[in-house]
Structure 1
Amino acid sequence: MFFHVKQTQYKCSPVMPDPLYAKKLQEVLGGQYGEMSVMMQYLFQGFNSRAEKKYKDMLLDIGTEEISHVEMLCTMISQLLDGAPLDQQEEAAKDPLIEAALGGINPQHLIVSGLGAAPTDSTGYPLNSRYMVSSGNLLADFRANLNAESQGRLQVVRLYEQTTDPGVRDMLSFMIARDTMHQNQWLAAIAEIEQQEGVLVPSSFHVELEDQAIAHQFMNYSEGEESSSGSWANGPSPDGRGNLEYVANPKAYGPEPSLRPAPDAMHSRLGMKPTLSNPKGCLEA
């Protein structure tokens, strides 16, 4: 059960309207690493959690906070559109192709959402549930969460640098600070689980069932050997199960593929007709 408090978590009012910037903010609202994505990701992980109660509680804490960030961004976007010259919006809406090419305002803010925010990214692509990760494995999910917070904070910082509006910067400064905490949160949770279960996902798979000969080899499949100097190519492996090895010229382990001719019933479907040189109608190179 959720309760809504009428006050926003933090101030979210611009000094001046700016429909172009409102379009940019749509990315951190409804984009792949936007607030709506992480809100749904954390809530679904929490709703589905079968782990220790502290993890479920933590997931629901942060997921619920992200709802407030969605509200703040929606409020900011709506106010950035308030008072924007109507002729600019109408002109852009006449030709979405020109609008997109010139990087103008989002015509859907006028046509679809009535000068309000929408659950889309900055190009108008709708929020997609495939952005969200909820696997049931805490370590895998928390690493996905760390990535989401890292990418999200990066985008908000870039947006901070693209405006001089003190009201917008004030709100973004708050959100950047919360993303700082959230990255620390996931790093701490990841370290805690890794200490208990190890660094590999999943930790339950039996070691003897995987090919140990190649399990710690870094294979050089591109020209140059600069990668050999990295910590991923030498020394003890992070999983504590062996030593990392650099392989300069990895070999092919499998044979050249050789496919059997298609059955007669497949000839017509594949457009392969029998000929004198190809009496069975086999596909020729």
Structure 2
Amino acid sequence: MFMHNKRLQYTVRVSEPNPRLATLMMEQFGGADGELAAAMRYFTQGLAEEDPGRKDLLLDIATEELSHLEVIGSIITMLNKGVKAQLSEGQMNEAELYQMVGATGTSAKESILFGGGPALCDSAGVPWTAAYVDSRGEPTVDLRSNIAAEARAKIVYERLINITDDAGIKDALGFLMTREVAHQKSFEKALYSIENNFPSGKLPGVEKYASVYVNASQGEGDMTGPWNSGDQWERIDDLTQTMPIDGGDGTAMVTLSSKDAKVAKQMAARLVSDPTLDPTTGADLGAGPGAGRTKTGDMGGAADIEEAPVEADATAKKTVAKKASKTK
């Protein structure tokens, strides 16, 4: 059961309305790394979690994320207070009102459709989607994803802090940003409290491939470090060793039933290409400047298609006539 306390988790003090800033703040309301996405991610994970400790942790943080959604939503509402009132009462003339709504940039929809209230959209007006919830139902996967999500949200809050000089907003955003740090710490503790948490899942990796590093991008800028060299790695610089790395012939195969094999053979015969043919195509007929080399001319559009000799055409007609008489 949920109960709502009318006091915010953190006091919001906005010095003056600023619709453009409100638009940018929408990223943390209905965006991919926003508070709603975080709350839904942790709620769904918590409801499915079997471990009582992790379940409690996830539901605690999920509920707190809803309180953060309320804080950021309140900031947006205060920043839009002026435009909301003017749109509602129409006290300004058309030009002034148009200019005010235009100041919201990409979120004119927010002003016109939602009346300046916080909507479940990001800063570009893209609606929130459950696709932002990337849970997989495996704690060692989801906890790592949660750590990354909190880190991403922390960076977004940093950028929002950097674009405002409103002291009250900076203060509230600083609180929200710091809670992302705290949640990262909690999720890391929960992850490392699971014995043998790497690699994720139950099945072990194939040993002979687990410590191979393939230097697949070679040239200027190649570097070595503990991520690709040293005792923990079997480094491959000769790329011919990876083609294929399993020692097979590198082809794709499937064993078909006799029925499927017969049909596959028929299909291959029907669709076979004749490399001796060089037909005139639509690209040749419609070629213009810049088409490159075509049958109409070296660079396209310069010459007519060469016509077949009259003698050959006459011979062809005789051949057709003979075949027709034989058929009769």
Which TM-score applies when normalising by structure 2? Answer: 0.70
Per-residue deviation at 1:144? 0.3
Aligned-partner Cα distance in 2 for 1:220–1:89: 59
> 1:36-47 to 2 correspondence within 5 Å?
36-47=36-47
Corresponding residue for 1:77? 76
Distance 1:145 1:206, change over 3 A: closer
Corresponding residue for 1:118? 119
| Equivalent residues, number | 254
The amino acid of 2:43's aligned partner reads L
Per-residue deviation at 1:35? 0.7
Structure 2 residues not aligned, in runs of 5+:
88-94, 255-260, 276-328
Deviations 1:159-205 (A, max 9, x none): 00000011111110111111121121122222222xx1242111x21
Per-residue deviation at 1:223? 2.1
The amino acid of 1:28's aligned partner reads Q
Corresponding residue for 2:271? 281
Per-residue deviation at 1:133? 2.3
SS in 2 for 1:83: helix
The amino acid of 1:66's aligned partner reads E
> 1:1-285 to 2 correspondence within 5 Å?
1-50=1-50, 52-84=51-83, 90-91=98-99, 104=105, 106-193=107-194, 196-202=195-201, 204-207=202-205, 210=206, 212-224=207-219, 228-235=223-230, 243-250=232-239, 251-253=242-244, 255=250, 280-282=270-272
Per-residue deviation at 1:15? 0.6
The amino acid of 1:215's aligned partner reads A
Which of 1 and 2 has higher RCO (CA within 8 Å, sep 6+)?
A: 1
Corresponding residue for 2:286? none
The answer to which of 140-149 and 107-116 deviates more is 107-116
Aligned-partner Cα distance in 2 for 1:265–1:20: 64
Corresponding residue for 2:310? none
Deviations 1:71-124 (A, max 9, x none): 11111101100113755663576xxxxx6xx98251122222111001111111
Distance 1:284 1:154, change over 3 A: farther
Per-residue deviation at 1:249? 2.2
Per-residue deviation at 1:247? 1.1
Could you tell me whether the CA contact under 8 Å between 1:92 and 1:105 is conserved in 2?
A: no
Aligned-partner Cα distance in 1 for 2:192–2:253: 47
Aligned-partner Cα distance in 2 for 1:89–1:56: 50
SS in 2 for 1:200: coil
Percentage identity across aligned positions? 29
The amino acid of 2:39's aligned partner reads M
Could you tell me whether the CA contact under 8 Å between 1:142 and 1:190 is conserved in 2?
A: yes
The amino acid of 1:149's aligned partner reads E
Aligned-partner Cα distance in 1 for 2:52–2:6: 29
SS in 1 for 2:234: strand
Q: What is the root-mean-square deviation of aligned Cα atoms in Å? A: 2.9
Distance 1:200 1:206, change over 3 A: closer
Distance 1:284 1:21, change over 3 A: farther
Could you tell me whether the CA contact under 8 Å between 2:19 and 2:80 is conserved in 1?
A: yes
Deviations 1:109-160 (A, max 9, x none): 2222111001111111111111112222111101000100000000000100
Aligned-partner Cα distance in 1 for 2:264–2:98: 61
- Following superposition, which runs of at least 4 residues in structure 1 exceed 4 angstroms of deviation? 85-89, 225-228, 256-267
Could you tell me whether the CA contact under 8 Å between 2:110 and 2:125 is conserved in 1?
A: no
Deviations 1:34-59 (A, max 9, x none): 11111100111001111x20110000
Aligned-partner Cα distance in 2 for 1:76–1:248: 54
Distance 1:158 1:257, change over 3 A: same
Which TM-score applies when normalising by structure 1? Answer: 0.79
Aligned-partner Cα distance in 1 for 2:253–2:145: 39
Aligned-partner Cα distance in 2 for 1:225–1:48: 48
The amino acid of 1:249's aligned partner reads D
The amino acid of 1:14's aligned partner reads V
Aligned-partner Cα distance in 2 for 1:79–1:261: 72
